[in-house]
Amino acid sequence: MRASGTTLVDYLADSARTRRGHVAVEDVPDGMLTYGDLDALSDRVRDHLHYAGVRPGDRVGVYARKSIDAYAAMLGAMKLGAAYVPVDISAPAWRCAFILADCDVRAVVLERSVVEGWRTERAALGELGEGPTLIVLEETGGGQGLARALDARGAVPPAPAHTPAPDDLAYILYTSGSTGKPKGVMLSHRAAVAFVEWCSTAFSPRADDRFSSHAPFHFDLSILDLYVPLKHGATVVLIDADRGKEPIGLAQVIAERRLTVWYSTPTILSVLGEFGRMERHDYSALRHVFFAGEVFPVKHLRAVKERLPHPEFHNLYGPTETNVCTYHRIPDQVEPDRTTPYPIGRVCEQLRARVVEPDGRDVTPGGEGELVIRGDNVMLGYWNLPDRTDQAFLVDADGEQWYRTGDIVTEDADGVFTFVGRRDRMMKRRGYRIELGEVEAGLYRHAAVREAAVVAVAGADGSARLRAFVAMGDGHVGSVLEMKRFSAAVLPAYMIPDQFTFVDALPKTSTDKVDYQRLAGAP
C-alpha cells in the first residue's frame, strides 16, 4: 500500500515518470494520449485555470462529452488543488445550470453547443453578472479540442507548484435529491485513493491491462475506470455514450480493443448478452468483469457468463457516498436452479460495516436492518447541505460516525451481506440512483399538471420501473405521448417514467398526504 499522503494526481505523476511513452487513454472511435502527453495537457489546463483565478479549494465544472478532453480537464483542476464537478451533457440544461451554480464553480470547461442553453438557464436561476470563466471547446475527442481551446487563449505563465492534501476535496458528484434538486456528494482524495488502493489489492491490476470506461464521468463507477489504471500505468479506453448503448458495437469494441477489465451496470451486461452477438468475437483478453449499481437478475447473469466463461465476475456494491463498500465473487458456474440474486458480499477490507435498527442498535444476528459503513472511503458530506449531511450519519456511543446507506440487508454467520430493499423512496435504475421526489418535481414543471406522484414498481422481469400518476388541471386531457416528450425535456433519460396513469385526484392518507401505498398497489 502507498503512503497515506497519496492523491489522485500523484498517480499521474508516477505513471508519467515511469511509463511516459505508454498509452494512458484512448477515445473510441479514435484518438489517444500517452502518459507524457496526458500529463502535459493537464498541466496546461492547470496553468490556464490558475491564470483565470482558480485557486485551491475552488470548484471547476466539466460540461462536455466523455472524452480525453474532459479527462484532462478533470486532472488539471485537481493538480491546482481544485475539485472537478462533472455534469451530464445529455441532461436538461436547467439541471446542469443548477449544479454549476449550486457549487459556485470558478471556471467551466464546456462545449460550444451547450453555452447558450447554460447561460439562459443560469439567468433563469437568478445568476446574473459575469459568472465563471469559460474554456470553450469547439469539439471533443483525442484531447485536440481542449488543446486548441487553450491555444486560442494565448500563452500563460506556469501555475505555482501545489500539492493537494489527502483530505482536500477531489470531486463532487451530484445525485438525485428528494427536494427535486440534485445534491452534491463531496469526495476527498483520501476517499478515492482508499478505494483505488483496495482495488489494487483485491484484483491485482497490471501495467498491460486495458480498462473499459463505460460509465459517464458524473457517475461513481467512473472512479474505478479512470484512476485504477492511472495508478498502475495501464490504459483506459473511453466509450462514448452513443456507442455505450448499442450492444452489437459495444460487443465489438470489447473484443477489438482487447479489453481486459470491464465494469458496468447489470443492465448493460444483460443487453450485451442478449443482443450483442457476442459469439462472433474473441474475448480471451478479458480477465475481470465487474458489475454494480443495481440488482443483476440471475437469468441474465447466467446468460452473460455462458458467453464469457473465462473472466472472474464480481458484484461490487456501494452508494456514491462510499463508492464500493462490499463485494462478492460470482461462482464460475451459476447454479442452473438458482433464481435469487447473489449477495452483495463482504465488507471491503479497509472499511467497517454494521447492520442496525432505526435507533442505531445492532440487529439480532441474521435479522434485517440498515447497512451502515465507516472508513476512509466515506464522503465528506453533501455540498452546502449541513442538515442533510447530519441526517446521513449515525453517531454511535463512542462518537464514531457511520454512513447510513439507506439499504436494508441481512448478514449471515460468515459476514456476507444480502440486499433486501431500500429504506426510503430512493431507488436505483440502470445503475443511477433516483429520488422519486425529483421525478415528481420534473413533472410539476408541466403547466397543466395539478398533482403528480411517482412510485417504483417491479416489471415482469423483476427490473425497477417508474409509474407516474398525474392529475391534470384546467380541463387539460392527459396524453401519454405529451408527457413522455415533456419528461424528456426536463429529466435525464433514466428518470423518465415508463408508465403514465391519469387520475382525477391523487389518493390521500388521513393526514392529507399522498397515499403512496395505494398507488403502489393500483392495478
Greater pLDDT, 150 or 515: 150
Same domain assignment for residues 395 and 443: no
Same domain assignment for residues 404 and 443: no
Residue 373 lies in a domain: yes
Residue 131 lies in a domain: no
Which whole number is the average pLDDT over 176-199? 92
Residue 413 domain boundaries:
351-422
Same domain assignment for residues 432 and 514: yes
Where a domain ends, among 401, 422, 443? 422
Residue 371 lies in a domain: yes
Same domain assignment for residues 446 and 498: yes
Which whole number is the average pLDDT over 342-356? 97
Model confidence pLDDT, tens digit, residues 287-307? 999 999 888 888 889 999 999
Q: What is the CATH number of the domain that holds 358?
A: 2.30.38.10
pTM of the model: 0.86
- Number of folded domains in the chain? 2
Residue 1 above 50 pLDDT?
no
Cα–Cα nearest to 8, from 62, 54, 77: 77
Residue 270 lies in a domain: no
DSSP line for 153-219? T---PPPPP----TTSEEEEEEE--TTSS-EEEEEEHHHHHHHHHHHHHHH---TT-EEEE-S-TTS
Which whole number is the average pLDDT over 494-509? 90
Same domain assignment for residues 432 and 515: yes
Where a domain ends, among 422, 449, 469? 422
Residue 236 lies in a domain: no
Q: How far is the C-alpha of 514 from the C-alpha of 508, rounded, in Å?
A: 4
Model confidence pLDDT, tens digit, residues 106-142? 999 999 999 999 999 999 998 877 899 999 999 999 9
Same domain assignment for residues 411 and 481: no
Residue 58 above 60 pLDDT?
yes
Same domain assignment for residues 415 and 478: no
Positive or negative, the CA dihedral 398, 399, 403, 407 is positive
Q: How confident is the model at residue 513 (pLDDT cuts 50, 70, 90)?
A: low
Q: How far is the C-alpha of 133 from the C-alpha of 148, rounded, in Å?
A: 17
Same domain assignment for residues 403 and 456: no
Residue 511 above 60 pLDDT?
no
Same domain assignment for residues 485 and 501: yes
Q: Which residues in 111-127 are b (16+ Cβ under 10 Å) and which e? A: beebeeebeebbeeeeb
Residue 442 lies in a domain: yes
Greater pLDDT, 402 or 523: 402
Residue 395 lies in a domain: yes
Residue 432 lies in a domain: yes
Q: What is the CATH number of the domain that holds 450?
A: 3.30.300.30
Where a domain ends, among 400, 422, 444? 422
Same domain assignment for residues 402 and 435: no
Find where cell 500523484 sits.
10
Torsion of CA 353, 354, 359, 363, to 10 degrees: 170
